[in-house]
Amino acid sequence: MKDNAAPKSLNLLTKLVIVLVLAGVFLLLFFLFFARVGTGVFLFSGLIPISAGYLFGSWGGLFGGIIVFPINFLLLNAVEGTSLSEFLLPNIVPNIGLILIGIFVGKLREAQGRLLQGKYAGERLRGVEQALKSERDRIQLIVSSMGEGLLVVDIQKRVTMLNPIAEELLELKGQVAIGKSWSELVKTLKGDQEVPIGERSFVQVVETKKPIITNLEDNHYYLTASGRKFPIVSITAPLISGGKLIGAVKVFRDATVDKEAKLVIEKEVAERTKELAEEKAKLLASIESLPRGFILTDVGGNVVLTNKLLTEIFGKAPKEGWTLDTLQGLLGESFDLRGNFKKVISQEQKSVFIGALSWGAKFLELFVVPVTLANGSIVGAIILVGDVTEAKVLERSKDEFFSIASHELRTPLTAIRGNTALIRDYFIKKVKDPEFVNIIDDIHASSIRLIDIVNDFLNLSRLEQGRIEFKKEKVDVAGTIKTVLEELVSSAEQKKLELKFLEPKKKPPLVAADSEKVKEVLINLIGNGIKYTEKGSVTINLVEKDSQLKINVIDTGRGISIKNQTLLFRKFQQAGESLYTRDTTKGTGLGLYISKLMVVGMGGTIGLEESVEDKGSNFYFTLPIAKD
């Protein structure tokens, strides 16, 4: 807002210029009229003290009247040759009059200036009052529109102002509350106990001149005259004017909603904490009940959690600060724990199984899997350590038993088969009783079957123990198939089955394999086709695919149900509907399992391509093509 004060007075330089101009005019008029008498001179020289008085006030008029006297003398002396004695007597009285006139004019100007200043000061005062009123109205509007209650007290803690929100919350009327002590109007509680007056925020702020903040956690309440109690949060600050404390101001609000929300949140947090504690207890109990040693690491390989069984396996308790390097040093380099850990952390592999390896007097196996969050990020790894020493010893004992038993059984069985064969070839004509002939035939057939079973056991034992050597030689699979078909043709003819080899027009490539093992696999698969087919045919074909030669054995037999297809290629398992029907096929359930071990040992694969009940099955195996 602009100030309506009086215009600024002319500066000193401007005033001097005006006086000099008037003096110049006086001199010009003097010379024009050639004043001959002093009164003529004073008629014009009177302008100087009058002008000086108007411009500079009474002191300017005095000074102007004084300097005119010597100026008049000098002018008259120069023009008419008037002496000082001639000048003084007639001119001293008029000059004194000029001085008085200049002073009078100056006084009049000063009075006029004071009147103008009073006028402008009044206008300025009215402008300031209007500005203050506008500012008060604006502040009052802001205070009234606040969403919080506002209170102001003086240094005696008497209420000097409160806004409508404060009136509503405290159930007070402004005209009634103003001037009354704050402690008489509303009680402050902490919980259920009233806060002493000396500890209330207004008192403390007035005493310390420091603001105080009351949070929800302070558990403060206001109790109104009607008995209404509600929680509050507030800030109380000192009011200081000119460096002097004049009171305090408080801004507060009803925190009932906040309090209820906090209680709900606290209850929910307590429930969640309890649930987490229960889940943690369940998780730890599950980890402790694992039949394997448990190790949880972060992505950096630092051990975070272990179970008690790990201590029993390692013979020492894991210490704080154990890392992947500690475990690697404990297990030895044969386990390559570091490399496998990196594979699962980098998601190169979903999991890693480290087979049973010797560790001192024990055999251990490790299983490493990543710990993955819902968003797919990996935060660590779990390492399961299993002590399979007893299982390994038991398995070895079983294998040794089978090996020894098979060797011991094969010798007498070979003798039985040989003797029965001699009886059948050279002495059967001397036997007159047909039933005795049948007995000899049964003994011979049973000895052959038992020798086949013993041979399967021996092969199985050698394959599982890795004691069978696989020769790497170039094998003509087509020629081997023809040889096997020649050996099995009589069995097929007995059941009136057709054996077909769909030999490709182009000579198939040679494979890198063991010819004897290839022959055994073919005998097993084609023999199974003949065994499980009552009518139709068994067909063999070859397909070259990538760097593998695929051999298919297709029969038109009884087929295999979907639920029994999962039993294939397992030890002592057949795909029949019941174990009690095993004698109808005269099998041990080892043929496919042994074939699988052989094919895998030669670097190939084996499986069931397709099987439909009452229509037949398609088995296959692949072998790597030999390089030139």
* 396-400, 439-443, 492-496, 520-524: segment of lowest average pLDDT: 396-400
Which of 464, 490, 505 represents a domain boundary (last residue)? 464
559 inside domain: yes
- The verdict on 222 and 200 lying in the same domain is yes
What is the structure's pLDDT at 34? 42
What is the structure's pLDDT at 572? 65
**Is beta strand 303-306 parallel, antiparallel or unpaired with respect to 159-162?**
unpaired
The answer to pTM > 0.75 is: no
Model confidence over 124-183: pLDDT tens digits?
Answer: 767 666 766 665 556 566 556 667 888 899 988 899 888 888 888 998 887 788 889 888
Residues 461, 519: Cα–Cα separation, whole Å: 19
14: pLDDT strictly greater than 60: no
- The verdict on 104 and 162 lying in the same domain is no
What count of other Cβ atoms lies within 10 Å of the Cβ of residue 447? 20
Tell me the H-state helices in 145-217.
164-170, 174-177, 182-185, 201-208
pLDDT band at 371; cut points 50, 70, 90:
very high
Q: Who wins on pLDDT, 420 or 58?
A: 420
Residue 149 backbone dihedrals phi, psi, to 5 degrees: -75, 145
- The verdict on 522 and 543 lying in the same domain is yes
What's the structural domain count of the chain?
5
Q: Who wins on pLDDT, 80 or 535?
A: 535
553 inside domain: yes
- The verdict on 431 and 549 lying in the same domain is no
DSSP letters for 240-297: EETTEEEEEEEEEEE-HHHHHHHHHHHHHHHHHHHHHHHHHHHHHHHHHT-SSEEEEE
What is the structure's pLDDT at 37? 44
- The verdict on 383 and 398 lying in the same domain is no
- The verdict on 484 and 616 lying in the same domain is yes
The CATH number covering residue 422 comes to 1.10.287
What is the structure's pLDDT at 355? 78
517 inside domain: yes
Query: Once rounded to an integer, what is the mean pLDDT over residues 422-444?
Result: 80
- The verdict on 23 and 118 lying in the same domain is yes
What count of other Cβ atoms lies within 10 Å of the Cβ of residue 202? 23
* 116-120, 230-234, 371-375: segment of lowest average pLDDT: 116-120
Edge-to-edge strands of the sheet including 537-545? Answer: 498-502, 537-545, 548-555, 616-624, 605-612
Tell me the H-state helices in 289-336.
308-314, 324-331
- The verdict on 107 and 156 lying in the same domain is no
Q: How far is CA 585 from CA 448, 463, 560, 582, in A?
A: 15, 24, 14, 6
Model confidence over 392-425: pLDDT tens digits?
Answer: 777 777 667 766 766 677 678 778 878 888 887 8
7 inside domain: no
What is the structure's pLDDT at 7? 42
Which of 72, 90, 125 represents a domain boundary (last residue)? 125
347: pLDDT strictly greater than 90: no
500: pLDDT strictly greater than 70: yes
- The verdict on 494 and 615 lying in the same domain is yes
The CATH number covering residue 576 comes to 3.30.565.10
Instruction: Name the average pLDDT for the chain.
Output: 80
272 inside domain: no
Model confidence over 15-32: pLDDT tens digits?
Answer: 555 655 555 555 545 444
What are the tokens at 605?
A: 């694969």
- The verdict on 91 and 190 lying in the same domain is no
278 inside domain: no
- The verdict on 573 and 519 lying in the same domain is yes
391: pLDDT strictly greater than 90: no
336 inside domain: yes
Which of 387, 421, 438 represents a domain boundary (last residue)? 387
What are the tokens at 166?
A: 């404060």
Model confidence over 223-250: pLDDT tens digits?
Answer: 998 889 999 999 999 988 888 999 999 9
Model confidence over 28-49: pLDDT tens digits?
Answer: 454 444 444 444 455 556 667 7
What is the structure's pLDDT at 9? 46
Residue in the block written with tokens 């005696």 = 156
| CA distance from start to end of the chain | 105
330 inside domain: yes
Query: Once rounded to an integer, what is the mean pLDDT over residues 99-112?
Result: 69
The CATH number covering residue 324 comes to 3.30.450.20
Q: Who wins on pLDDT, 128 or 370?
A: 370
What is the structure's pLDDT at 39? 47
- The verdict on 408 and 490 lying in the same domain is no
Domain carrying residue 365: 290-387
